[in-house]
Chain A
Amino acid sequence: MKEIRWHGRGGQGAKTASQLLADINLQEGKFVQSFPEYGPERSGAPIKAYNRVSDEKIRVHSGVYEPEVVAVVDPTLLSAANPTEGLSSDGILLVNTGKSAEEIKSETGFNGKVLAFNATEVAENAGSGYANVPVLGALVRVLGTDYELARAEVESALLKKLPEEVVEMNLAAFKAGYEAVNN
């Protein structure tokens, strides 16, 4: 079983991305959980969301304490939150940032694998404006998920709530995110 933690700010779509990832993993035939951490939520406040992915039925219902992968949607959370908490040195830290992986390593003191790319810029270039989807694209690559399968799921999920041209922008951002990192 793999455990993933998302850091974002209220309104940035970290929870949505977490649920999209669960949908994608289901399409791979996996068992999944996706849940946010609930507190006094308000727009802009730091939030966390979690995924569990497994080949077997998932029975555990506790919080996630030692994630294998951490995805940071908002660059300011590197200092405002504690994104490396519980992340072992063989884990992966995926960060939306303008800085290099080396800079992130020294900033966080995290010795494991850091994947850094500017998801905000990717989203702006694609016209969608939300960094959650390119981070999801990168995460899909990190997890070794089939790109076409993941893209199709994102497309069908987003089409349920967004107009077609906005979905197209997001799919472009998803692709750019996927291509921005090496597994």
Chain B
Amino acid sequence: MKFLALATAVVCAALAAPALAHGPTRQKLVETVEIDRPVDKVWAVIGNFDALAKWHPVVASSAADKGNEEGSTRILVLRAPGAPSFAEVLLKYDGAGHSYKYEIPKVDPKILPVNNYTATISVLDNGKGGSTVEWKGAFYRGYMLNDPPPELNDESSVAAVKGVYRAGLDNLKKILEAAP
């Protein structure tokens, strides 16, 4: 539970987010996992926008108001002290291409230290009968101004998102490869 530890650490950082634009440099993160199951099997588990809670160990619930329609909003409730929560909005959904893209319009940096966050999850055929699941994120750090405190700087923001992606991807592999 890397994310839980990170989430707790970040909760301790009592900092108000100023209502300013963003730091100078957008961060990019790409994490992948190889799963020894065909694309359709993997997509059947993660393909629905509201399915995140079924495969991400840190997400307790992820109900969406309009399913897989563009603009659908899912409310994530995390398995962390105080059940922190925030919304994610579906930007693009490509069922045939096994991919969807979403954004976080606004999140308390104490929960996840990011701004202007978007991400894409895709399932790709790895050419060996299995799949590569790719989770790509783009975001600014948690602190909008120059000279951020360490817990809200670029490295901390990337580490927090990486924790979320790894926990999800590694657990997805475990679930799918354990199934017959």
Instruction: Tell whether A and B belong to one assembly.
Output: no
Interface residues, chain A, with chain B CB atoms under 8 Å away: none
Interface residues, chain B, with chain A CB atoms under 8 Å away: none
